[in-house]
Amino acid sequence: MGLYCLNSDPTKCLWDDGTGSARMYNNFASGFPLVDIGKCVYYSVRGVLAGKWVSGDCDVALRAYVCELPYTFADNCPYNYNGFCYSIHNASASFLIAQEICEHECGNLVSITSEMENRYVTTMGSRGITSNYVYIEAMFPRSNAFAWIDGSVWSYNNIDPFHTPSSGYCATIGNSKTSNYGFWTSVPCNWAHPFICKRPAGTQCLQNQPTVTVTPVPNQPSYCNSSLLLAPGVIASPNYPQNYDNNLFCSYQLATLGSYKIFLRFSKFITEPNRDIVKVYDGASSNTPLLGSYSGNLSSFGLVSTGNTMYVTFKTDGSNVAQGFFTRFLVYTGL
């Protein structure tokens, strides 16, 4: 059975899947668990102890076993677990390129929301990837702030306890059994690493669809000076991905419900340096604390609010233009 006893007390017997101890329910035979015999547990199927749980030696006793997997959906993907398909990419890429490749597979870089999923991803990576580090989907807008970019709740954390994440970095999972196997660490987002994608199982992802030519190419909706915008969503400079205009002033009012925060991720950012400026405020207006003022050609970066509102402005002068910016804002459930 997937139960391991630290001592001869059922409350100290822990389930391998991370769901806790045998305190709530157990069916140990009288006198068990008994760690003097062994710390592993097996289910007796014969004799007077049939149906009872008995202690056994983990290394010496060879027994039949039954594996348990969570419910999932039929799919022809090679790695199908708990309702999701996973794909291994041994060719290295930067974080953003890896995410784009995963999006072409109708998914994202892998988010990990439980101890069991972390084990599954770690085992899968160790069998198919030779690199010591593998990209997962988390980003660290600050050293003490983190988020899954697909909006998954940060319900599980396996950051290496001996590692302090760096602000603006992206997450990898350790793939070396001699060092940080299974633990998460931060690396610069432009570094190239292998990666794992994740998508819902049982859904069709149409590949090689016919190309449809649209003239002109529609611009990304900007939401400049629009009403209140609820996360998740996107904002951009006017005309993006084409150049914005001179003498602009745009404001963007972002919000999320309840006590959640907002994670703002700039994936593209090119403006006239020191002239065409984006400002981000930690609140509902420009009277709230300024989180940052940005211009120029910047790599992707992220910011997290302290409350459930965020206010963004974009002001341009009367000369020179550029492509501008594209930003996603997500519900953030981290610390």
Note whether 79-200 and 229-332 share their fold.
Answer: no
Tell me the helices (H) and strands (E) count for the chain, helix number first. Answer: 2, 21
Tens digit of each residue's pLDDT (9 = 90 or more) over 158-196: 998 778 888 889 999 998 766 678 899 999 999 999 999
Over residues 11-30, mean pLDDT: 89
What is the architecture, at CATH level 2, of domain 229-332?
A: Sandwich (2.60)
User: Which residue from 276, 290, 286 is spatially nearest to 319, judged by alpha carbons?
Assistant: 276
Most confident of 50-64, 85-99, 253-267: 85-99
Question: Is the model's pLDDT at 18 over the cut of 80?
Answer: no
Report the 10 Å Cβ neighbour count for 324: 27
Over residues 267-279, mean pLDDT: 96
Is-cis flag, bond preceding 289, omega within 30? no
Tens digit of each residue's pLDDT (9 = 90 or more) over 58-108: 878 788 888 888 888 989 999 999 999 999 999 999 999 999 999 999 999
Query: C-alpha angle 126/145/103, rounded to 5°?
Result: 55
Domain range annotation of the chain: 3-56, 79-200, 229-332
Reported pTM: 0.56
Question: What pLDDT does residue 213 have?
Answer: 41
Quote the CATH superfamily of domain 79-200. Mannose-Binding Protein A, subunit A (3.10.100.10)
Is-cis flag, bond preceding 232, omega within 30? yes
